[in-house]
Amino acid sequence: MTKSAGHEGIRRIGVSTGGGDAPGLNAVIRSVVLAARDVGWEVVGIRDGYNGVFLPEQYPDGGLIPLDAKAVRGITHLGGTIIGTTNSGNPLKYPVKQPDGSVVETDRTEELAAKLRANGIDAVVAIGGDGSLTIANALAQKGVRIVGVPKTIDNDLSKTVATFGFDTAVSFATECLDRLHSTAASHRRVMVVEVMGRYAGWIALNAGVSGTADVILIPEIPYDMEAVAAKIQERYSQGRGFAIVVVAEGARPKGGGFSVVEKKAGSAERLGGAGERVAEAVRAATGHDTRVVVLGHLLRGGSPTTFDRLISLRFGAAAVRALRAGKTGVMVALDPPTVRYVPLAEATARMKVVPLDCDTILTARELGICLGD
Ligand code: F6P
């Protein structure tokens, strides 16, 4: 590969990890650093999203972390992100306190673009989900050379077959469902298992089908409690004296809203409580002993699966390749057997939810799993 220091004017690139962490972030960072080293570019990690350039005074060691080959040694298999992340203080909706105490969400991406330039950052690899990549798109429009990498356990980004982190989350949720079967059966209980995924049911559906759940409730199909109760009663009357109900955190009853815990300026709304809401309704409708398990942030921890490691490494190298080819405003996307580039604007235009006619939904129905309708 030809060395090209200053290739297209790039000497130094910044890497940012934004939003909720996901297994595979460190593998992407390592891949970016090693691929950039190959063309003679210096790499710095921007701490906690863009806080490292926005609020450098918060960091006694500086808001930028020099990333050389040594700094990324032995991190491919580690969960989390060595440069930190945040899902608050979105620069497109930055919370600014007003004299009267109220908070107004303000677009600070122009200022962010200037700060990146002032820090000698010629190009950025932005690793994130829809929120972070929407910010990346805004930065691209302000002249920042930027390439996005699709991260999220939720798998809700359009234009890529998969985001990294999703496979690990689904694998762990499936393992949990396997473990819950024996305790559910021993106690003749209904186990309600809430999983993350925001407004998309990918984790619930894939883990639920793989973990042989009896009921799977996803945001795409508002549920009817009568159908859910009927399925549970059928299991008990057939002698299968227990049931496993998987509930996406974004699941909601027909005519009802999402279970929202909190909404703060500059942050996405926080979901929670969908499992408890279903469990209460199950108890009321069936009278069966029912327990709730919320897998929550456990789905974001641990080592990435082989699949996630490999796509993370491929995404990181492909992001550097894109910058070398002079691309900007694009996201690296998985399109087996290859990785391609799609405009950030297209990737973030609409959320990728579970299509109701997809094969996994059909499979669930054909296996007799109740989807709440
Ligand atoms: O987007 C990833 C995700 O884990 C969602 O599944 C979940 O709704 C959200 O982040 C939780 O975010 P927080 O870290 O603020 O609890």
- Return the axis-axis angle of helices 130-141 and 109-118, rounded to nearest 10°: 70
Residue nearest to atom 3 of ligand 1 (CA): 20
**Helix (H) and strand (E) counts for the chain?**
11, 15
Confidence band, pLDDT 50/70/90 cuts, at residue 262: very high
Q: Are strands 270-271 and 260-262 parallel, antiparallel or unpaired?
A: antiparallel
- pLDDT given at position 89: 84
- pLDDT given at position 2: 39
Q: Is the CB of residue 154 below 6 angstroms from any atom belonging to ligand 1?
A: yes
Site to probe by mutation for ligand 1, drawn from 151, 154, 164, 170 as the one with most ligand atoms within 8 Å of Cβ, is 154
Q: Is the CB of residue 271 below 6 angstroms from any atom belonging to ligand 1?
A: yes
- pLDDT given at position 202: 98
- The mean pLDDT value for 49-71 works out to 96
CA of 90 to the centre of ligand 1 (A): 15
The dihedral built from the CA positions of residue 229, 232, 236 and 241, taken in this order, carries a sign that is negative
C-alpha pair distances (Å), 193 with each of 174, 188, 290, 296, 368: 11, 16, 11, 10, 19
Q: Is the CB of residue 20 below 6 angstroms from any atom belonging to ligand 1?
A: yes
CA of 176 to the centre of ligand 1 (A): 19
Query: How many Cβ atoms sit within 10 Å of the Cβ of residue 355?
Result: 10
Q: Which two tokens stand for residue 18?
A: 């934004």
Confidence band, pLDDT 50/70/90 cuts, at residue 15: very high
CA of 197 to the centre of ligand 1 (A): 7
Which range has the worst mean pLDDT, 97-106, 245-254, 340-349? 97-106
Pairwise CA distance, residues 229 & 221, whole Å: 16
- pLDDT given at position 7: 62
Confidence band, pLDDT 50/70/90 cuts, at residue 371: very high
Ligand 1, atom nearest to 203 Cα: 6
Tally of CA atoms within 13 A in the half-sphere of 236 that contains its CB: 18
Residue nearest to atom 14 of ligand 1 (CA): 20
pLDDT at 1 exceeding the cut of 50? no
- The mean pLDDT value for 68-78 works out to 98
- The mean pLDDT value for 255-276 works out to 92
* pTM (predicted TM-score): 0.96
CA of 163 to the centre of ligand 1 (A): 15
Provide the greatest CA pair distance for the chain. 71
Helical (H) or strand (E) element with 343: strand 338-343
Q: What are the residue numbers of the active site?
A: 154
CA of 27 to the centre of ligand 1 (A): 20
Q: What percent of the chain has pLDDT over 90?
A: 93
Ligand 1, atom nearest to 156 Cα: 1
Q: Is the CB of residue 290 below 6 angstroms from any atom belonging to ligand 1?
A: no
pLDDT per position as a tens digit, 201-246: 999 999 999 999 999 999 999 999 999 999 999 999 999 999 999 9
pLDDT at 186 exceeding the cut of 50? yes
Confidence band, pLDDT 50/70/90 cuts, at residue 6: very low
Q: Is the CB of residue 153 below 6 angstroms from any atom belonging to ligand 1?
A: yes
- The mean pLDDT value for 17-38 works out to 97
Which range has the worst mean pLDDT, 55-59, 88-92, 191-195, 208-212? 88-92
Q: Is the CB of residue 151 below 6 angstroms from any atom belonging to ligand 1?
A: no
Query: What is residue 261's three-state secondary structure?
Result: strand
Q: Which residues pair with 46 in a beta bridge?
A: 16, 64
Query: How many Cβ atoms sit within 10 Å of the Cβ of residue 230?
Result: 13
Residue nearest to atom 12 of ligand 1 (CA): 20
Which range has the worst mean pLDDT, 99-108, 170-179, 346-355? 99-108
Residue nearest to atom 13 of ligand 1 (CA): 20
CA of 21 to the centre of ligand 1 (A): 8
The per-residue pLDDT of the chain, averaged, comes to: 96
Name the CA radius of gyration of the chain, rounded.
22
pLDDT at 101 exceeding the cut of 50? yes
Residue nearest to atom 2 of ligand 1 (CA): 20
